[in-house]
Amino acid sequence: MTAEQITKTEKMTGARMFIECLKKEGVDKIFGYPGGVILHIYDELYKCKEIKHYLVRHEQAAVHAAEGYARVTGKPGVVLVTSGPGACNTITGIANAYYDSYPLVVFTGQVDSKLIGNDAFQESDIVGITRTCCKHNYLVKNISELPRIIKESFHIAQTGKPGPVVVSLPKDILTSKMDFNYPEKINLPGYNPTYEGHPIQCRRALKLLCEAQRPVIISGGGVIHSSAWQEIRELAKKLNIPVATTLMGIGTFPQDDELSLGMLGMHGNYWANLAVSNCDVLFAVGTRFNDRITGCLKRFCKDAKVIHVDIDPCSISKNVHVDIPVVGDAKNVLNVILEEYNTGNYSYDKEMRTLWVKQIESWKDNRPVLAVKDAKLHPQTVIKKIYEKTKNQEAIIATEVGQHQMWTAQLYKFNKPRQLITSGGLGTMGFGFPAAIGAQIAAPEKLVIDIAGDGSFQMNIQELMTCVDYKIPVKVAVINNGYLGMVRQWQEKLFDKHYSQTPISSPDYVKLAEAYGILGLRVTEESQIDEVLDKAISHNGPVIIDFVVEPFEMVYPWVLAGKPLNEVILSNLTDNEGLGE
């Protein structure tokens, strides 16, 4: 029976009501893992043809996969797990989505209402545990609340600043019966996100941008959430303003554009860092000014006026003092600014703006040549080759967390949004592979590659079986250097090469692939890369490629934690600090 055929007077169990509510929200995919207290829901799923459930091998992977799905589609990812350990295993994934602001609705089972607080078998206070790492959470206390709570959860997850919402479902709620009535409207008096930027603030922002001689735009993840990348590009072109992106904002501005500065921050392009350090007006859109992009806060843009556009008022002036705050949805605010520029009497000093762009170009042209020519297989070479092979396919690239993540952000030229899937704020090892699975489910027609470290990949390696079961053709490129590379890099520079617990061993990835019944390949020399990548990309199924690379490579440029952005280490040969001052 479809949701449309259900009358308002038909009594149904909470479990069936749960399924019907999801249908009303247009959900057709769920990532999860069953358990005792939610078996009534799984019994209803067994009868349901409209919703496909993907059984993962660990609950953390379910949340990461749902987030990968959300990142590609822009729709909330949905997770269903049991109580106790099942619910607790979702915490890392929930926190990851919260920090990077992606919409999820995570349903967790709970013991009977009368047993809550009595240390019942597989009880955990998931509402208390997730209070600080989700946008909102609910404990359903009565079956009459269930439809309203589900509708509110989807609304909250995807409006305002997106984020995860957690719903705890006691077992007795799922077995109780009630007339089904799905609410038509949302009534949340205390929750009213501001979408329209104040017109006076928008005009002030535009006036300051036109008066600037050395402006820079920072485009963050909020530009993706609001689908405002076209507006960012139009504004940059009209006013001839260089654009830097945060890690989360990669793809919002084409990296092959002459105004692109690429990524800024700890491992960002040093000319992007110098441009931000020397600008006189900084126009930041959809970023929370994470410490990885600001460096030393006292010296961040110390001589610049700062304009900050964000839908979350709590993010404005939280870390960086803002001269002109604009609270609102990035797309709406940028459209107001563009309309004002197109219809008003605004102009800027084109000569000074041209000189500023040329100054940045000179920093790019004078960058040191760090190319290494030897017989070793270098991770940078591998990632450049992956880019060359896939740049015309609009591939989706996921990463784990570590050195390979930063090299990917630096070397793969992303020109479109929702193309890079990576963990930013939480820096979650083990994120990339299950997120790639979710992305592939969201976009089955696209090539999806997870560029992984040998440490990160092993954290959720069990999801290879999920790929096999559902014929999900994700390609995994393991940058295998035998170390927890980023931690080892810090140990080499800051801890006298005391490599404490950073050497890490791996299984034979080719044999492991064979054990799972998938294709496993290995590359040990640069001359093998093209042939192996061609074979992997053309293969109609999941693939593991083991790239055995030079173990002691370092990620440069590098701004040490707590240092200002213009104190950049460019190579292991020389510490080029204070560059550009």
Strands 281-285 and 305-310: parallel
Looking up tokens 């929750």 gives 191
Q: How far apart are CA 463 and CA 457, in angstroms?
A: 10
Q: How far apart are CA 275 and CA 578, in angstroms?
A: 14
Task: Name the helix (H) or strand (E) containing 477.
Answer: strand 475-480
User: What's the number of CA atoms in the CB half-sphere (13 Å) around residue 390?
Assistant: 29
Q: What secondary structure, in 3-state letters, does 509-573 show? A: HHHHHHHHCCEEEEECCHHHHHHHHHHHHHCCCCEEEEEECCCCCCCCCECCCCCCCCCCECCCC
**Catalytic residue at 495?**
no
Tokens at 24, concatenated: 């009303």
Q: How far apart are CA 324 and CA 217, in angstroms?
A: 14
H helical segments located in 176-226: 199-211, 221-225
Q: How far apart are CA 55 and CA 469, in angstroms?
A: 9
Q: Which of 122, 230, 359, 528 does the annotation list as catalytic? A: 122
**Catalytic residue at 122?**
yes
Q: CB–CB of 308/205 below 8 Å?
A: no
Q: Write the CB contacts of 91 (distance below 8 Å, at least 6 apart in sequence).
A: 129, 130, 133
Q: Which of 486, 489, 491, 553 does the annotation list as catalytic? A: 486
Beta partners for residue 178, in sequence order: 12
Q: Which of 135, 151, 161, 171 does the annotation list as catalytic? A: 171
Q: CB–CB of 79/30 below 8 Å?
A: yes
Alpha carbon 330 to chain centroid, angstroms = 18
Give the three-state DSSP class for 215. strand
111: left (phi over 0), alpha (psi -120 to 50) or beta: beta
Q: Which of 17, 20, 44, 59 does the annotation list as catalytic? A: 59
Beta partners for residue 219, in sequence order: 245, 285
Q: CB–CB of 452/478 below 8 Å?
A: yes
Q: Which of 1, 114, 121, 196 does the annotation list as catalytic? A: 121
CA angle 565, 581, 287 (to 5 degrees): 25
Tokens at 283, concatenated: 């126009």
Q: Write the CB contacts of 421 (distance below 8 Å, at least 6 apart in sequence).
A: 68, 71, 72, 396, 397, 398, 399, 432, 435, 436, 439
DSSP 110-158: E--GGGTTTT-TT---HHHHHTTTSSEEEE--SGGGHHHHHHHHHHHHH
Q: How far apart are CA 96 and CA 63, in angstroms?
A: 9
Q: How far apart are CA 20 and CA 3, in angstroms?
A: 6
Q: Write the CB contacts of 215 (distance below 8 Å, at least 6 apart in sequence).
A: 209, 239, 241, 242, 279, 280, 281, 282, 283, 353, 356
**Catalytic residue at 17?**
no
Q: How far apart are CA 488 and CA 133, in angstroms?
A: 29
Short-list 185, 140, 186, CA closest to 17: 140
Active site residues: 59, 121-122, 171, 486
